């Protein structure tokens, strides 16, 4: 999403323009890692050769020892779970302890962690990754392979015979030499980007039909929410994460912006109070902007299980009594469903109950 010392889930962007690479005689040409959006699901032909953020990745067979880096995300591990790929996970470092799908919390907790611990940059250090001997390391962002943060580089892992995979929409995130196409992709967040990663995993693990069924189901759920809320006057919605206040220069609750969040709110029959702002705005939004915002519905973002949503809502209502939401006491909660990941539909369903309660 943007550079910061405490990397939180990136507002994801539209995947790179997709086209299957032509196959030459002999070794197949590498294809963009997100190149399955328009393709019909089939069986994966191995070796599968991908161009992932400019790195050639050759996958000889479905990976069996996957290590999922933290990246302060849960979108990647949740995608594995939704596709039934838990048995392929050697060690998982992603976990919030709260979710817009309650079943996700125990499902993630049940995964092996491999005894991994985080360094000061909230990521698995190089020596632990190498010692685990995975056959694939999955990262939310390119910065998950930054040697300056004490992390194993993609080149270092490749030398050890370990494949790496970055969620393609985040190629530019944490990559100083990102191409214009990668930067453009990262700027344009989309719910469809969440589905793109599911389809990518479908190809890597030869579960393309499962991925197609899951993404079709998620799309149907979103369409159903949109149909229920269509034609109703949109409410102004503010998404604020008190537990992520370290992201804001003034220590205010992190106000979530970006296209994924905007799309979720629109599906629920609302308009993000800060719609159209880039995700970077979370660090600069100040008290004056919050005071001037139109807020019909407050959405308290939850990041850790110990957070008290009702208490946080009362604090914000007291701080900004001019909001309509403060006068009516209207609030709801969200967790991981406004980030890049497979739970955008779940968040839209949840928000719609508060944003358009009569729909």
Residue 358 has phi, psi (to 5 degrees) of -95, 0
* Domains in the chain: ranges and CATH: 31-220 (3.40.50.1980), 231-355 (3.40.50.1980)
Q: Radius of gyration (Cα) for the chain, nearest Å?
A: 20
The model's pLDDT over 113-133, given as tens digits with 9 standing for 90+, comes to: 999 999 999 999 999 999 999
The model's pLDDT over 319-331, given as tens digits with 9 standing for 90+, comes to: 999 999 999 999 9
Task: Give how far Cα 310 sits from Cα of 221, 244, 300, 313, Å.
Answer: 28, 17, 9, 5
User: For the whole model, what pTM was predicted?
Assistant: 0.89
Report cis status (omega within 30 of 0) of the bond before 208: no
254-255 and 235-241 as β-strands: parallel, antiparallel, unpaired?
Answer: antiparallel
Distance CA 13, CA 306 (A): 30
Distance CA 41, CA 27 (A): 22
Tell me the three state secondary structure of residue 68.
Answer: strand
Residues 6 or more apart in contact with residue 263 via CB below 8 angstroms: 189, 190, 191, 344
What torsion, rounded to 10 degrees, do the Cα atoms 262, 263, 267, 273 define? 10
Q: How confident is the model at residue 26 (pLDDT cuts 50, 70, 90)?
A: very low
Q: How confident is the model at residue 189 (pLDDT cuts 50, 70, 90)?
A: confident
Which token pair is 256? 């979530």
What pLDDT does 106 receive?
97
Which token pair is 349? 């369903």
């Amino acid at each position: 999403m943007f550079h910061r010392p405490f990397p939180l889930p990136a507002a994801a962007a539209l995947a790179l323009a997709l086209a299957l690479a032509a196959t030459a005689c002999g070794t197949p040409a590498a294809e963009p890692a997100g190149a399955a959006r328009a393709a019909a699901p089939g069986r994966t032909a191995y070796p599968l050769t991908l161009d992932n953020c400019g790195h050639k990745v050759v996958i000889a067979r479905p990976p069996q020892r996957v290590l999922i880096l933290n990246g302060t995300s849960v979108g990647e591990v949740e995608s594995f779970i939704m596709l039934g790929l838990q048995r392929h996970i050697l060690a998982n470092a992603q976990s919030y302890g709260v979710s817009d799908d309650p079943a996700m919390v125990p499902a993630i907790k049940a995964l092996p962690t491999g005894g991994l611990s985080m360094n000061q940059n909230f990521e698995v250090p190089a020596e632990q990754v190498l010692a685990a001997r995975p056959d694939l390391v999955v990262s939310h962002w390119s910065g998950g392979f930054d040697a300056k943060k004490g992390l194993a580089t993609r080149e270092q892992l490749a030398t050890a015979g370990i494949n790496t995979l970055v969620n393609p929409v985040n190629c530019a995130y944490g990559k100083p030499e990102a191409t214009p196409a990668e930067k453009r992709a990262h700027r344009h967040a989309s719910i469809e980007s969440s589905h793109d990663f599911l389809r990518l995993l479908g190809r890597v693990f030869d579960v393309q039909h499962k991925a197609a069924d899951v993404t079709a189901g998620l799309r149907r759920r979103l369409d159903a929410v949109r149909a229920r809320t269509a034609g109703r006057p949109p409410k102004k919605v503010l998404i604020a994460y008190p537990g992520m206040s370290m992201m804001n220069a003034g220590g205010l609750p992190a106000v979530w912006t970006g296209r994924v969040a905007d799309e979720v709110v629109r599906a629920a029959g609302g308009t993000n109070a800060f719609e159209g702002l880039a995700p970077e705005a979370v660090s600069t939004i100040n008290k004056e902007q919050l005071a001037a915002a139109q807020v019909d519905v407050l959405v308290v973002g939850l990041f850790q299980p110990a957070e008290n949503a009702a208490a946080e809502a009362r604090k914000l209502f007291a701080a900004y009594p001019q909001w309509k939401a403060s006068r009516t006491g209207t609030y709801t909660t969200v967790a991981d469903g406004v980030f890049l990941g497979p739970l955008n539909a779940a968040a839209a369903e949840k928000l719609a109950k508060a944003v358009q309660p009569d729909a």
